[in-house]
A and B are shown apart, each in its own frame.
Chain A
Amino acid sequence: MTALASRTGRSTPGDTRRRLVVIGNGMAGARAVEEILARGGAVQYRVTMFGDEPYGNYNRIMLSHVLSGEEDAGGIFLNSLDWYRENGITLHAGVRVEKIDRFAKLVFSDDGRATPYDVLIIATGSRSFMPAVEGLYTPGGRLLPGVFAFRTIDDTQGMVSYAQQDHHGRAVVIGGGLLGLEAARGLQSHGVGVDVVHSGGHLMNAQMGPDGGAVLRRSVEALGIRVHTSSRTTAILGGDKVRGVQLRDRPDIECDLVVVAAGIRPNVEVAVTSGLPVERAIVVDDHMRVPDEDEIYAVGECVQHRGEVYGLVAPLWEQAAVLADHVTGADPSSVYLGSRTATKLKVAGVDVASMGLQAPERDTDEHVVFSEPSRGVFKSIVIRDSKIVGATLLGDSRKVAYLTQAFDRGLPLPEERVSLLFDLGGPGDEAGVAELDGDAQVCNCNGVSKQVIADTVKGGCTALSGVMDATRAGKGCGSCKLLVRQVVEWAADGAVAEDPTAAYYVPGVPLEKAALMTAIREQGLRSVSAVFAALAPGGAEDAKSKMGLASLLKMMWAGEYIDERDARFVNDRVHANIQRDGTFSVVPQMKGGVTSPEQLRRIADVADKYNIPMVKLTGGQRIDLLGVPKEDLPKVWADLDMPSGYAYGKSFRTVKTCVGQEFCRFGTGDSTKLGIQIESRFQGIESPAKLKLAVSGCPRNCAESLVKDVGVVAVDGGRWEIYIGGAAGAHIRKGDLLATVDDPGTVTLLAGRFMQYYRERANWLERTYSFVPRVGIEQLRAVIVDDAEGIAARLDEAMQRSVDSYADPWAERNSPFTPGQFRTSLPLEVLPRVPVR
């Protein structure tokens, strides 16, 4: 009944809409219809589509995934049959159009139907090219059993089921282009051994030159695929089914299955038969209209536009949009001027990108090439008049986004051409920023999108620090700073304003750390206000610089430092960590994560007495009392009667330990004892950023020593490994092995020496996971273990002075340092509170 109703509905006499007929239901035909519908075309047109294949419209690009089994055939449909029904489109699936009568405006299909049209779109696409090879067809004109093209769902499913049959264990793929390599890789996943036979001199010769092809060949062969280049297939062997292939001037290859992937040819027969202009493909103008035919359009792989025939999907999208603009009249000025094709894809697991020229053509063309066959990496860039006119990249797609942009827009290139190929000196960016969507969140802490950053740059702010100030991107955990920088560079088209403050230790004093320390020492500046007065422009204070200067001065002067409390961040003024509701968290020291029933009882009593809303175990093996109002802090500390755990400062925090040999049956070293020793020695030491340590009693590493700023691992034989520069927070990094030593005393000594070196050399807020790779583990080992610079004794002595000047800050509970130090700043109205559990 429904079917009947919809059928009569289509031929309602009152329906005055024009008739739009589309020949072809592939990616181009369906996309063109989608674009037309998006422009309100359903009001103007009744749409009828003819599709050769008995399905809705699917993503042909994904067929290689169906072949490899990564994707189910049902999963690659773009438009299901329901979509046609919902949009009132009459779909004749599995029906082939044979002829167009341009004068009567009728199309004739192989089911005997004559369908009238007012506007016609031809989107017949391409088919696999079948080379003239003996034995390809049976005498009846069908493909020999075991021979497959690789173009449709039916081809793909036929190939899969044939490959899965017993005794079909070897395949030959004819064609070493994109499609052939995809087929080879896909067949491998069915346990089939594959040979690729390619008539060209190197693989993917349409996309790259011989050098790139040679590197690609290595990568493909490393996957277990045999490659025969410059090899022409002369015959398919086997009378009833495939038994092998015969090559010219080469031995035959036995096989059970042959895939022909020797290129594609546009489907132009209907157009030729119907008298439309066809050269290499159906000729269209800039409106995607067939010349001299007002009502006939063509789109996709079956068209030839300004002499070009495209076999990629991107040009098709552009063509479909222009076509729809004209068919609906939405934009009569719309024109298609051709596509610059840049391809970026994964072929048989290898990243391949290519655009423009493969190789230099003129004497004056520059050619920048890098080849590293053992890693499967090849990069080639052709430059003409300081513009990229071609590029090939294999095995490493990191610069593709930038290069594509430079190619498309003709951007000015860096003087140092090698930086076109690599990001020099920085960690690699995983995704090119150009490819990020505008609403992609760049800073996950402060919720700043790429678009917001780009708009800020377009608004005239082109310095990184300015953009960060204005948007607060990168001002949370800081792990996105590199990405923020890249977005700024991208948005500024490379015209990023030089940011002199980036090199300063703190923004308000124009000196790098080493020069700043020299000036402080020479002028005897012992307080933050003295530094501003002597070294800042105009003697101006700068709120953003205070905390970093306070830390530096304390490190340099230890007991002689003049402590101005206004230079401290609130956490350091009240020795607790401020929370979102203005209350604080209190973490007492619990050395090495070892506590006692007596301590636990006191903590429990305090939690009861002060109605602590949440008691939480920390990642550093301590107990956190959350939600303490500022005015209660001194009383809480007094009742705890435990020292500060420094869970709030840019300082040495804690040493996490495992149980160790005392109890653990696997333990090889006394990790808890060493952890407690280290924590006792370095408690409260201020540093450019927080320091989290760990000691593990055996290589099982239960205290996670490999991802700590300083991590120690006991290994068999009474020895200890020291790792530095590890992290497992906003950034993940395995620490580098600094040294393996014989006794705990040396561990403490070297750990202290490293921390002192870090305190003196690291930039403000630079964690060890940045500092260690920046300086380099070899250099650090030379200085700290081998004393190559002769400064070990001085470092040890400086650290000792800091150790000696330690005083538990929670002792200030009895005599506040400043008036109202613990007076509430909390507004009286209720603010969001940490939820009580």
Chain B
Amino acid sequence: MSAGLHVLGPVDEIPVGEGRAYSVASEQIAVFRLRDGSLRAVSAVCPHKGGPIADGTIDRAVVMCPLHQHAFELETGCSTTGAGPLRSYPVFADGSQNVVVRFP
């Protein structure tokens, strides 16, 4: 994984309250656009059975994997239902309303 900032595309590609998956430098990332407009980014593959996290249902705090309803905190990636953690990434929208994710 290459450290630094990566531009993923326009924020408007992500409907409010939903997530979309991106492939960045061999990493799979699910980016969510919360109803307050803020963004969250976590790894896109559920550690439980490989479910597509970007298809999950979210609120302000967690995302629920669509396959077996494991829940993960969007801020930290930690599971609230006993699964392994997702990786979480700093993410923001830049001045031209593009999604930017930072790899450590």
Judge if A820 is at the interface, Cβ distance under 8 Å: yes
Tell whether A827 pairs with B66 under 8 Å between CB atoms, given A472-B82, A540-B59, A570-B56. Answer: no
Select which of B15, B59, B62 is within 8 A of A818 by beta carbon: B15
**A825 lies within 8 A of B18 (CB):** no
CA A827 to CA B67, docked complex, whole Å: 14
User: B64, A544: Cβ atoms under 8 Å?
Assistant: yes
A584 to chain B, nearest CB (A): 10
A569 CA to B20 CA, complexed, in Å = 14
Inter-subunit contact B81/A469 (CB<8 Å): yes
- Do A543 and B62 touch across chains, with their CB atoms under 8 A apart? yes
- A543 touching B55, Cβ below 8 Å: no
Residue A825 contacts which of B35, B52, B58, B81 (CB distance < 8 angstroms)? B52
A526-558 vs B: 1/0 string, CB under 8 Å?
Answer: 000100000000001111101100000000000
B60–A540 touching, CB < 8 Å: yes
Is B63 within 8 A of A543, CB to CB?
yes
CB of B36, distance to nearest CB on chain A (Å): 10
Task: Answer yes or no: A132 CB below 8 A from chain B CBs.
Answer: no
For window 10-62 of B, CB contacts with A under 8 Å fall at 12-21, 23, 28, 30, 35, 44-45, 49-60, 62
Q: How far is the CA of A446 from the CA of B49 in the complex (A)?
A: 12
In the bound complex, residues from chain B placing their C-beta under 8 Å from that of A542 are: 59
Q: Is the CB of A819 within 8 A of B51?
A: no
A475 adjacent to chain B (CB < 8 Å)? yes
Residue numbers in B under 8 Å from A566 (CB-CB): 15-18, 35, 57-58
In the complex, which residues of chain A have a beta carbon less than 8 angstroms from the beta carbon of B2? none
Taking the closest CB of chain A, its distance from the CB of B30, in whole angstroms, is 7
Cβ-defined contact, A570 with B55, below 8 A: yes
Say if the beta carbon of A222 comes within 8 Å of chain B.
no
- In contact, A819 and B66 (Cβ under 8 angstroms): no
Q: Which of B23, B28, B35 contacts A541 (CB 8 A)?
A: B35
Minimum Cβ distance to chain A for residue B50 (Å): 5
Q: Is the CB of A826 within 8 A of B69?
A: no
* A828-B20 contact in complex given A472-B69, A569-B66, A580-B49, C-beta closer than 8 Å: no
- In this complex, the member of A529, A582, A824 whose beta carbon has the largest number of chain B beta carbons within 10 angstroms is A582
B100 CB-CB contact with A under 8 Å: no
B82 CB contacts on chain A under 8 angstroms: 470-472
The distance in angstroms between the C-alpha atoms of A568 and B66, with both chains bound, is 11
The smallest C-beta distance from A680 to any residue of chain B, in angstroms, reads 31
The reply to whether the CB of A398 lies closer than 8 angstroms to some CB of chain B is no
- Within 8 Å of chain B (Cβ to Cβ): is A565? yes
Complex Cα–Cα for A564 and B59 (A): 13
Contact B13 A543 (CB under 8 A): no
Residue B97 interfacial (CB < 8 Å):
no
Asked if A578 is an interface residue, CB under 8 A from chain B, the answer is: yes
A832 within 8 A of B: yes
In the complex, are the beta carbons of A565 and B60 less than 8 A apart?
no
Asked if A831 CB lies within 8 Å of chain B CBs, one says yes
Residue of A nearest to B43 (CB): A827
| B71 at the binding interface (Cβ < 8 Å) | yes
- Do A582 and B51 touch across chains, with their CB atoms under 8 A apart? yes
Cross-chain contact A819 with B21 (CB below 8 angstroms): no
The reply to whether A827 and B55 contact each other, CB–CB distance below 8 Å, is: no
Quote the shortest CB–CB distance from A283 to chain B (angstroms): 55
CB distance A827 to B21 under 8 Å?
yes
**CB-nearest residue of chain A to B60:** A541
Contact of A827 among B52, B62, B63, B70 (CB under 8 A): B52
Does A823 touch B at the CB level, under 8 Å? yes
- How many residues of B are in contact with the other chain, CB < 8 A? 40
On chain B, the residues within 8 Å of A540 by CB distance are 59-60
Q: Does A153 interact with chain B (Cβ within 8 Å)?
A: no
Q: Does A567 contact B (CB under 8 A)?
A: yes
Interface string of B68-81 (1 = CB under 8 A from A): 11110000000011
Nearest A-chain residue to B49, judged by Cβ: A580
Residue of A nearest to B50 (CB): A831
Q: How far is the CB of B39 from chain A (nearest CB, A)?
A: 14
**By the criterion CB–CB under 8 Å, are A826 and B21 in contact?**
yes
The answer to whether B17 and A825 touch across the interface, beta carbons within 8 angstroms, is no
Q: Contact between A543 and B81 (Cβ–Cβ < 8 Å)?
A: no
Q: Is the CB of B80 within 8 A of A543?
A: no
Q: Max chain B CB contacts within 10 Å: which of A543, A564, A581?
A: A543
Interface pair A546/B57, CB less than 8 Å apart = yes
Q: Contacts A472-B82, A825-B20, A826-B52; is A543 near B71 (CB within 8 Å)?
A: yes
Contacts of A541 in B (CB 8 A): 35, 59-60
Report the minimum CB–CB distance from A815 to chain B (whole Å).
14
The residue of chain A having its C-beta at the shortest distance from the C-beta of B66 within the complex is A570
* B67 A828 Cβ-Cβ under 8 A: no
- A contact residues around B69 at 8 Å (CB): 472, 475
Task: Please indicate the chain B residues that have their CB under 8 angstroms from the CB of A829 in the complex.
Answer: 28, 45
Say which residue of A582, A818, A828 sits within 8 Å of B18 (CB atoms).
Answer: A818
Given known contacts A472-B82, A582-B52, A827-B21, is B57 in contact with A547 (CB within 8 Å)?
yes
Tell me if B55 and A472 are in contact (CB < 8 A): no
Indicate if the CB atoms of A543 and B64 lie closer than 8 Å.
Answer: yes
A433 CA / B19 CA spacing, docked (Å): 42
Contact status A565-B35, CB under 8 Å: no
Check A827–B44 contact: CB distance below 8 A: yes
Contact with B along A427-471 (1 / 0, CB 8 A): 000000000000000000010000000000000000000000111
Say how far A506's CB is from chain B's closest CB, in angstroms: 12
Known contacts A446-B68, A547-B57, A820 near B20 by CB under 8 Å: yes
Which A residues from 510 to 531 make CB contacts under 8 A with B?
A: 529
Question: Bound complex: CA of A470 vs CA of B14, how far in Å?
Answer: 31
Q: Is the beta-carbon distance between B68 and A472 smaller than 8 angstroms?
A: yes
Q: A residues within 8 A CB of B17?
A: 529, 564-567
User: Which residues of B have CB within 8 Å of A546?
Assistant: 57, 59
Q: Are B14 and A825 in contact (CB under 8 A)?
A: no
A565 contacts across to B, CB distance below 8 A:
15, 17-18
Mask of A558-590 contacts with B, CB within 8 angstroms, 1/0: 000000111111110100001011100000000
Shortest CB-to-CB span from A686 to chain B, Å, is: 16
Q: Give bound CA distance, A452 to B70, whole Å.
A: 17
A701, chain B: closest CB distance, angstroms: 35
For B12, the chain A residues whose CB sits under 8 A away are: 819
A581 to chain B minimum Cβ distance, whole angstroms, is 8
Of all chain B residues, which has the CB nearest A569? B57
In the assembled complex, how far is the CB of residue A576 from the closest CB belonging to chain B, in whole angstroms?
A: 11
14 A–B pairs (Cβ distance < 8 Å), ordered by A: A470-B81, A508-B59, A541-B60, A543-B58, A567-B17, A570-B66, A578-B67, A582-B52, A820-B15, A825-B19, A826-B21, A826-B52, A827-B21, A831-B50
Given contacts A546-B59, A580-B67, A831-B50, 7 further A-B contacts (CB under 8 A): A472-B70, A566-B58, A568-B57, A582-B67, A827-B50, A829-B28, A832-B50
Interface residues of chain A, those whose CB is within 8 Å of chain B, are 446, 469-472, 475, 508, 529, 540-544, 546-547, 564-571, 573, 578, 580-582, 818-820, 823-829, 831-832
